[in-house]
Structure 1
Amino acid sequence: MISPCPRYNSNGVNCPALPAGELIDYNESSPIASNGVALQPFCKYATPWPTPAARWTAGQSITVNFFTYGSEHDGGHAQFSLSYDAGKSFVVIYQVLGHMFYDAQGNYQFNYTFTLPANAPGSDSAIFAWTWVNAMGNREFYMNCADVVIVGTSQSFSGRQMTVLNYPGYPTVPEFLGNFTTGLEYYTSAPTITVYAPASQTTMTTSSTSATAMISESPQSSPPHSDTSTTVALR
């Protein structure tokens, strides 16, 4: 992912200044886990951008762009999610199951446009995440995170919990080998969670109550796929 700019990404578009003490990520296309080994934590980096990489309004159309050079690993399952609790939980707002990086005709696709849910809560410090399980090659899990501002008046949003696979402590799915339904059961059975607007936000036009995401899993748990998410038809 290059836009919105993920944390420290060397190919990112309109990236904020680096946090003090951090370095540019020149391996931004690498997975955070491979063949059962964790290479980096969720989001790859824990320290957020000092200023947001994007400012969005609930209900608007947003476009996510990807670097056009690299390995597409024959597609795979991807989700786009939001966190309101500094990355402890993620709720899915859109997903592409089966053929990430390919359109319905089998052509390469490096940008995705979808609607930010109209009831996405406002936040000065939301995290937007893209996650991907590759169809071909080493069993890997990819994740990029961008720090964003969301303008909205909703107090809460419910959706599916983001699915984590091929990461230590989570299920592993085999290579798809042409079967693009591989691993889909983990996405369709993901629990629904509710996330809440932080207690005090300048992006809110109404006051909100303090709350955190309601999940039973640990902070590294896999969050949901929202009821407003979209699934690309399998080809």
Structure 2
Amino acid sequence: MKSIFSVTAVALAALAVMSEAHVTFRYPCPRRAAFSECPKPKDNEWHLVDYDANSPLGTHNSISNPICKWSSSFAGVRPVFKAGDTVQTKMEVDVNHRGGSCQWALSYDNGSTWVVIQDQFQNCLANAPAGSTYTISVKIPANAPTSNSVILNWIWNNNEGNRELYSSCADVVIQGTNGGSLSGVAPLFANYGPSSPFIPEKAVSNGDWGEKHFKARKPITVTVPPQKLKRQIVDLE
């Protein structure tokens, strides 16, 4: 059992880190995040909690973390979304950087391939107050295949400040067509290392927000084989 001192120290460390952070999913829960809605770590897993989930994964100069940051989450219950549902996602916003361009994508193979299901260019999060939990509606495609192991990813390039990429991966269950495919475009991962496309700061670039790069995203089709159906709510593995 952890002492009161150790718990307090962890909590204070979390607050210190989060005060310097920016934006992340809150619902659905990003992998290993410390929010109250998230699966709790086991007693021997507290050192794995991500108290820095709000920070960017990289800048145009360097990559600090993989797109999903963590390869897995803590054991717990995944939210279940039906194909065609409109999900009220919640964003934890520390600083909105005067908005930016958001992409939402699904992966059925733990992040190896992605297909974009929704975009919001230029003004995504522009109206989100600092220090708020902000709701954005995201529609799951009506033809989304069924799977107990899907990642919903939010990807954001900010308008103002350092040239950064934000990404937040949440493990979810989708109930839809048992077997099938989902077509769209592959996401743009801009300002994510020196070999990635560069999106300049909009305020000092004559309004250039990276439109040409978003238009150049490549078409992709993700095919999902029929699943051996499990119970509707499953434990994370």
TM-score interval for Structure 1 and Structure 2 normalised by the shorter chain: 0.7 to 0.9
The CA distance in 1 between the partners of 2:52 and 2:197, in whole Å, is 25
Partner of 2:59: 34
2:218 to 191, 200, 219: 191
The reply to whether residue 177 of structure 1 matches residue 200 of structure 2 is: no
Rate the CA distance shift 1:180–1:126 in 2: closer, same or farther, 3 A. Answer: farther
Q: Structure 1 residue 18: deviation in Å? A: 3.4
Distance 1:132 1:62, change over 3 A: same
CA positional deviation for 1:173: 1.5
Q: 1:174 to 1:128 in 2, by over 3 A?
A: same
Report the CA distance between 1:201 and its aligned residue: 3.7
Percent identity of the aligned residues? 33
Report what 1:82 is aligned to: 106
How many residues align? The count is: 200
Tell me how far 1:199 sits from its aligned partner: 4.6
Instruction: Tell me if the contact between 2:28 and 2:79 (Cα under 8 Å) persists in the aligned partners.
Output: yes
- Residues 48, 195 of structure 1: CA spacing in aligned structure 2 closer, same or farther, 3 A cutoff? farther
- With structure 2 as the length reference, what TM-score do the two structures score? 0.77
| Counterparts of 2:207 and 2:148, CA distance in 1 | 37
* Preserved contact between residue 80 and residue 93 of structure 1 (Cα < 8 Å): yes
Distance 2:197 2:136 in 1: 27
- Answer yes or no: is 1:66 the counterpart of 2:94: no
The letter of the residue matching 1:138 is: N
Task: After TM superposition, give the deviation of residue 51 of structure 1 in Å.
Answer: 3.7
1:1-235 matches, cutoff 5 A: 1-11=25-35, 14-18=37-41, 21=45, 23-68=48-93, 70-103=94-127, 110-153=134-177, 155-168=180-193, 169-177=195-203, 179-202=206-229
Structure showing the higher helix proportion among its residues: 2
Is the CA contact 2:102–2:154 (under 8 Å) kept in the aligned structure 1? yes
Deviates more, 1:78-87 or 1:190-199: 190-199
The code of the aligned residue for 2:220 comes to: I
- CA apart distance, 1:143: 0.6
Q: Deviations over 1:52-92 (max 9, x none)?
A: 43111101111110114x11111111111100111011111
TM-score w.r.t. the length of structure 1 is 0.77
Cα shift at 1:50 = 3.0
> 2 CA distance for matches of 1:186 and 1:114?
22
Provide the residue aligned with 2:10 in structure 1.
none
**RMSD of equivalent CA atoms:** 2.4
Which stretches in structure 1 are left out of the alignment for 5+ residues?
205-235
Checking the alignment, whether the CA contact within 8 Å between 2:146 and 2:227 is kept in structure 1 is no
Within 1, Cα distance between the matches of 2:92 and 2:56? 15
